[in-house]
Amino acid sequence: MLHAPTLEGDSELAQQFAPTELFLNRELSLLEFNQRVLEQALDASVPLLERLKFLCISSSNLDEFFEIRVAGLQQMAELSPTQRGSDGLTPAETLALISRRAHELVDAQYSAFNDVIVPALDQERVRFLRRAEWTPQMNAWLKNYFQHELAPVLSPIGLDPAHPFPRILNKSLNFIIPLSGKDAFGRNTGFAIVQAPRALPRLIQLPPEASGAGPNDFVFLSSVIHAYIDDLFPGMEATGCYQFRLTRNSDLLVDVEEIKDLLEALEGELSQRQWGDIVRLEVAHNCPDEMWQFLMGVAQLTPDDVYRVAGPVNLHRLMMIPDLVDRPDLKYPAHTPRIPKAFSGSAKEMFAAIRERDQLLHHPYESFVAVVDFLRAAARDPKVLAIKQTLYRTGDQSAVVEALIEAARNGKEVTVVVELRARFDEEANIDLAEKLQAVGAHVVYGVVGYKTHAKMCLVVRREKRDGDVASLHPYAHLGTGNYHPRTARLYTDYGLFTANPQVCQDVHAVFLQLTSLGRLTPLQHLLQSPFTLAEALLARIDREMAHAQAGKPARIIAKMNALVDPKVIAALYRASQAGVQVDLIVRGMCSLRPGVPGLSENIQVRSIVGRFLEHDRCYSFANGGAPELYLASADWMERNLYRRVEVAFPLLDDAIRARVQANLLAYLGDTAQSWVLQPDGSYQRPPADGERAVQLRLMEAV
């Protein structure tokens, strides 16, 4: 975030084009992705409760954007105000552009909520009841709820010299209340603050005994507090009640060079995450000027940092609605991923199938259960001696972790590389690390200064082959996504099983790097950051240029989550100038400008946004007629290429390579869920050709 890359080695490009002509701003590009997510909430072809989910996701994404990216830019504006990014903008210039675009996006979110989603839900008898709509019976039930469930846990704080402004938790729901009258001590109190404890639900589902309530009638907690706020201030009158929320810097600051125990240091830092510097104020749109300006002053913000919203200050809390509302007709049809034949038999048959040929899984079209079954089989198979695994995100009650625990209890040598600094999963990863250590697994936290983002598993099995004496043979699983059973049902990812001795030896070598202090071992097939991946990518892009100039087949197709590394972008520009067709499928941030005359006429960038989150990374090179195709854990970002441990692995099986290549071409042909990036950074929908969305076609194909 605070690293400003340069166009080192590309002085010709730098002389021809200004930085703003070469690179789109990465933060604004990320906001454009959030706009595309929000567009799904407005798409009438998407089931209604799924549209609500997309609205919630856009809200949650924006929260993280402020917690991490805006917070980082604000720090940079203080520490290095004149430093410019690859796009030529200073931190202050970027923050000004972000504020304008983010305000537009927030306005669009609440317009979608108030003008589209709520009326559509109301027609389906899923209602958010305002106070004017409460029947006397509802009012009585809610009054009782307030008195017995809310009031006992609320602690209103009247502001005066003895009661300073309270410390507000990150993203918590709060209310500022103007008061008239005197309190029990005869004091005039201008206004008070009420903090809603996080344990309280933000939406209350009315029960049948609240007469007149339907099965899917809900009331906002803020409405209940507003209705009975006077009860918290006996003898006084609350002349208003306005919700607000503060967003804080949530990036953890741990100096890995100085600490002795990363786990212990992170445990200490996590407790402070809720109290970082304030970066945003959200407040009810009808809050009087003097009050939101007072809050702005307390938070030490500027008007650009204030967002006045016409609705609940945290739309993400509405994500509970689809789980509470039993309306399958308003949700996506159920999808059951298939289990490939190779993984539907016994453990012996599973290992035999991988020995016979590489096996590819495409999630969520094919079930992640196959990965869990592989680990369980390894945990229980007496022939398996050792399991090595990387874990970045796994989720609560993970079947993957349970299999590793079972393996350790069964006497296997289990080594797990746990990335404790996986953002917002730090606490969960600390917990799983302690569980694994408790059963005797060897747990390490990767390499000092580099996050371990590679997705790898290695199983070592003693077995006889062709009548020989039993010896050790490895099996590997390499993936583009996390070992996370829940997200494997929601994200698109690939996973490759292989018993190829050279590939498995490479995986073993990477694990040695992560667990020991040995020197770098040359790898035969894997590309690894921070050592060889960036260099190999640049070399392959240059090779496509040479093929194009020689009249040989030359094309690059790459699919990823983000493309922002200036060196890779510059290389792609050179390839375009040399006549290489470059087709990019970039879900989120993209700093490359496609279609610029003299620079990138041969580059097209599209983003696919649909039911599943596009998460896999694929790099395809025509290579003069001898195609290469890699799957990887890495996006084309500086952090992935230079500051993380990542792996890219080739598809050596012709049939598997052809299958993934066909999938890439299907994505390039999609017109139902794709958005095409324009030179100015905006995105446009391509003309529809009547084809079904690529995700639907892939669901039907397996």
Question: For 8-22, 233-247, 268-282, 462-476, which range has the lowest pLDDT when averaged over its residues?
Answer: 268-282
Question: For 74-88, 380-394, 448-462, which range has the lowest pLDDT when averaged over its residues?
Answer: 74-88
Q: Identify the bridge partners of residue 529 per DSSP, sorted by sequence position.
A: 646
Mutual angle of helices 369-380 and 399-409, in 10-degree steps: 10
Per the model's pLDDT, the better-predicted residue between 213 and 493 turns out to be 493
pLDDT of 254: 41
**H or E stretch including 416?**
strand 413-418
Question: For 274-278, 535-539, 631-635, which range has the lowest pLDDT when averaged over its residues?
Answer: 274-278
pLDDT tier for residue 395 given thresholds of 50, 70 and 90: confident
Neighbour-count burial for 430-469, b at 16+ CB within 10 Å, e otherwise: bebbebbeeeebebbbbbeebbbbbbbbbbbbebeeeeee
Nearest of 318, 258, 305, 307 to residue 278 by alpha carbon: 305
pLDDT of 324: 95
Neighbour-count burial for 76-86, b at 16+ CB within 10 Å, e otherwise: bbeeeeeeebb
Sheet holding 217-220, edge to edge: 127-128, 217-220, 203-205
Nearest of 135, 117, 144, 180 to residue 312 by alpha carbon: 117
Task: Select, from the ranges 77-81, 421-425, 555-559, the one with the highest average predicted confidence (pLDDT).
Answer: 555-559
pLDDT of 421: 64
Query: Rounded mean pLDDT of 451-458?
Result: 94
Q: Identify the bridge partners of residue 608 per DSSP, sorted by sequence position.
A: 674
At CA 572, angle to CA 613 and CA 576, rounded to 5? 115
pLDDT tens string 120-129 = 999 999 999 9
pLDDT of 162: 55
Token pair 């604004």 is found at: 28
Query: Rounded mean pLDDT of 88-107?
Result: 95
Cis peptide before 364 (omega within 30 of 0): yes
Instruction: Evaluate if residue 28 carries a pLDDT over 90.
Output: yes
| Percentage, residues of the chain above pLDDT 90 | 70
Tokens found for residue 339: 């289990």
Residue-by-residue DSSP string for 427-485: HHHHHHHHHHHHTT-EEE--BTTBEE---EEEEEEEE--TTPPPEEEEEEEEESS-S-T
pLDDT of 603: 98
Per the model's pLDDT, the better-predicted residue between 158 and 607 turns out to be 607
pLDDT tier for residue 681 given thresholds of 50, 70 and 90: very high
Overall residue count recorded for the chain in this entry:
702
pLDDT tier for residue 4 given thresholds of 50, 70 and 90: very low
Q: Give the CA distances from residue 211 to residues 146, 220, 695, in Å, rounded to whole numbers and listed in that order.
A: 17, 18, 44
Question: For 162-171, 182-191, 369-378, 639-648, which range has the lowest pLDDT when averaged over its residues?
Answer: 182-191
Per the model's pLDDT, the better-predicted residue between 319 and 75 turns out to be 319
Q: Is 315 exposed, middle or buried (0-12, 13-18, 19+ CB in 10 A)?
A: buried
Tokens found for residue 205: 């589902």
| Percentage, residues of the chain above pLDDT 70 | 91
Q: Are 632 and 648 in contact (CB under 8 A)?
A: yes
Instruction: Evaluate if residue 164 carries a pLDDT over 90.
Output: no
Distance CA 59, CA 109 (A): 8
Q: Is 628 exposed, middle or buried (0-12, 13-18, 19+ CB in 10 A)?
A: middle
Q: Are 315 and 273 in contact (CB under 8 A)?
A: no
Distance CA 266, CA 271 (A): 9
- Backbone φ, ψ for residue 491 (5° rounding): -110, 145
pLDDT of 649: 98
**Beta-sheet pairing, 581-586 with 555-560:** parallel
Nearest of 620, 613, 611 to residue 561 by alpha carbon: 613
Average pLDDT of the chain is 89
Per the model's pLDDT, the better-predicted residue between 326 and 420 turns out to be 326
Q: Give the residue numbers marked as catalytic.
A: 453
pLDDT of 260: 43
Distance CA 388, CA 91 (A): 42
pLDDT of 266: 42
Question: For 257-266, 459-468, 655-664, which range has the lowest pLDDT when averaged over its residues?
Answer: 257-266
Distance CA 332, CA 317 (A): 20
SS3 144: helix
* Three-state secondary structure string covering 470-531: CEEEEEEEEECCCCCCCHHHCEEEEEEEECCHHHHHHHHHHHHHHHCCCCCCCCCCCEEECC
pLDDT tens string 356-380 = 999 999 999 999 999 999 999 999 9
Q: What is the largest CA-CA distance in the chain?
A: 95
At CA 435, angle to CA 429 and CA 437, rounded to 5? 100
Report if pTM > 0.85.
yes
Distance CA 630, CA 656 (A): 11
DSSP 535: H
Distance CA 433, CA 417 (A): 9
Distance CA 167, CA 299 (A): 10
Residue 694's region, left for phi above 0, alpha for psi from -120 to 50, else beta, is alpha
Q: Give the CA distances from residue 340 to residues 343, 368, 567, 649, in Å, rounded to whole numbers and listed in that order.
A: 6, 10, 40, 21
Task: Select, from the ranges 179-188, 196-205, 603-612, the one with the highest average predicted confidence (pLDDT).
Answer: 603-612
Instruction: Evaluate if residue 578 carries a pLDDT over 80.
Output: yes
pLDDT of 402: 94
Alpha-carbon torsion, ordered 210, 214, 219, 223, to 10 deg: -60
pLDDT of 669: 94
Task: Select, from the ranges 6-20, 195-209, 588-602, the one with the highest average predicted confidence (pLDDT).
Answer: 588-602
pLDDT of 269: 45
* Three-state secondary structure string covering 179-245: EECECCCCCECCEEEEECCCCCCCEEECCCCCCCCCCCEEEEHHHHHHHCHHHHCCCCEECCCEEEE
User: Which domains does the chain possess?
Assistant: 11-120 (1.20.58.310), 124-329 (3.30.1840.10), 341-519 (3.30.870.10), 528-701 (3.30.870.10)
pLDDT of 13: 82
Residue 32 neighbours by CB distance under 10 Å: 22
Residue type, 271: S
Beta strands in 73-182 (DSSP E): 127-128, 157-158, 174-180
Instruction: Evaluate if residue 8 carries a pLDDT over 60.
Output: no
Instruction: Evaluate if residue 673 carries a pLDDT over 70.
Output: yes
Instruction: Evaluate if residue 543 carries a pLDDT over 50.
Output: yes
Q: Are 350 and 378 in contact (CB under 8 A)?
A: no
Instruction: Evaluate if residue 56 carries a pLDDT over 70.
Output: yes
Tell me how far apart the terminal alpha carbons of the chain are, to the nearest angstrom: 40
